[in-house]
Structure 1
Amino acid sequence: MPDLPTSKPVLAGKIVLRSETIRLEALPEGHLLHVMGATTSEEITTHLLAVGLKESSVRPAGYRQWFVVGNEQLAQSQRQALANALSGRAFICDQSHGRIRILVSGPDAARMLNKGTALDLYPSSFPEGCSAMTLFGHISVQLTRTGMNDFELTVLRSFAESLYEELEALTRSHGAERLAL
């Protein structure tokens, strides 16, 4: 029987860049669930807590659509427990294998990201917890503000390397260098 292909993180080996004002890093390929249906983010959050997913966050992804993201990989039993909890109200589609998350943080993060997207990233217009589907250059991403100076970009797996390389160039233009391990 031939060996089955092994899963390799798409951004494995990508370096973390940082300066005093900016940081770029690939996040773990944990989980990303696409939830669709007649529910609310509050209801999803309640069900996440009930099935033991306290570290996951819920992000709007369109009309009656949300992404549930986290750094840990989920067991089939956890996904099934969430699907059962939302049964009759929403459906879940596991997108963990198809989307990659990248973190851009630091005081210059918003200014740097504005070089690639048309979103107004001022905190009054795009506060912490806000999420939007947008383009970064020619690549479609979901951009989420996860902290005052922290942004997470979620991108389709096939575009992850290209996006990361664009972000590397922008980060280096802000004086960032390879993080010493």
Structure 2
Amino acid sequence: MPDLPQHRSVLAGTAHSSIAASGIRLEALPEGHLLHVLGAIEPAALAAELAKAGFAESSIRKAGFRQWFVAGDQPLAHAGLEALTAALAGKAFVTDQSHGRLRIGVSGHSSRLLLSKGTAVDLDPAAFAEGSSVMTMVGHISVQIARTGDDTFELTVLRSFAESLWEDLSYMAASAVKDEA
């Protein structure tokens, strides 16, 4: 049926697939899956349940009090979601956010400089170690920042704000390159 909506990536196309500047790389990450888990379950127990349900390659990111985002590059399998929901029954609730949020990768030796232009979060490795995550604002947009490596971050944003965030990051990247020069 031609009148059915077609899925398209918000940041698809050459203009939004990636930007590389001196010391900075912005990249639209695979849409994969993003689950919001709410409940009184510890991260280690959640990780065990994720592995059983086929989400072993996913990462767990704190999103608030008794809240986590489970992010991964693989598309969401309905059977896996059902298995996870059943396993967490009585302990936590699972909401699929895969179609409502996007992830943007920010990497390179100037990535912290770029992000410091938009947020007040202390991204120094001593204060924000690999595996850390925080809900914050980048400019006027609510995002989750997760440190995934030494100079590598993932920003999770509501789908409707993804293009605006991408434009802001692109502008900040150009400014960060000028500041380094």
1:6 aligns with 2:13: no
The change in CA–CA distance for 1:147 and 1:97 in structure 2 (over 3 A counts) is: same
Q: In structure 2, what residue type is equivalent to 1:10? A: V
Residue equivalent to 2:105:
103
Percent of pairs with identical residues:
56
Give the structure with the larger helix fraction: 2
Alpha-carbon deviation of 1:100? Answer: 0.6
| Residue among 63, 87, 96 paired with 2:89 | 87
Q: TM-score, normalised by structure 1?
A: 0.93
Structure 1 segments (4+ residues) deviating >2 Å: 172-176
Q: Distance in 2 between matches of 1:152 and 1:45?
A: 20
Q: Distance in 2 between matches of 1:12 and 1:140?
A: 21
Q: CA RMSD in A?
A: 1.4
Contact 2:132 2:146 in 1 (8 A): yes
SS at match of 1:151: strand
Contact 2:113 2:176 in 1 (8 A): no
Alpha-carbon deviation of 1:175? Answer: 4.5
Q: In structure 2, what residue type is equivalent to 1:64? A: R
Pairs within 5 Å for 1:1-181: 3-13=3-13, 14-175=16-177
Contact 1:101 1:154 in 2 (8 A): yes
SS at match of 1:124: coil
Deviations 1:85-116 (A, max 9, x none): 11110010001010010000011101110000
Alpha-carbon deviation of 1:35? Answer: 0.3
Contact 2:36 2:68 in 1 (8 A): yes
Contact 1:19 1:174 in 2 (8 A): no
Q: Distance in 2 between matches of 1:16 and 1:2?
A: 31
Structure 2, unaligned runs of 5 or more: none
Alpha-carbon deviation of 1:57? Answer: 0.4
Alpha-carbon deviation of 1:71? Answer: 0.7
Q: In structure 2, what residue type is equivalent to 1:129? A: G
Q: Distance in 1 between matches of 2:138 and 2:172?
A: 12
Residue equivalent to 1:179:
none
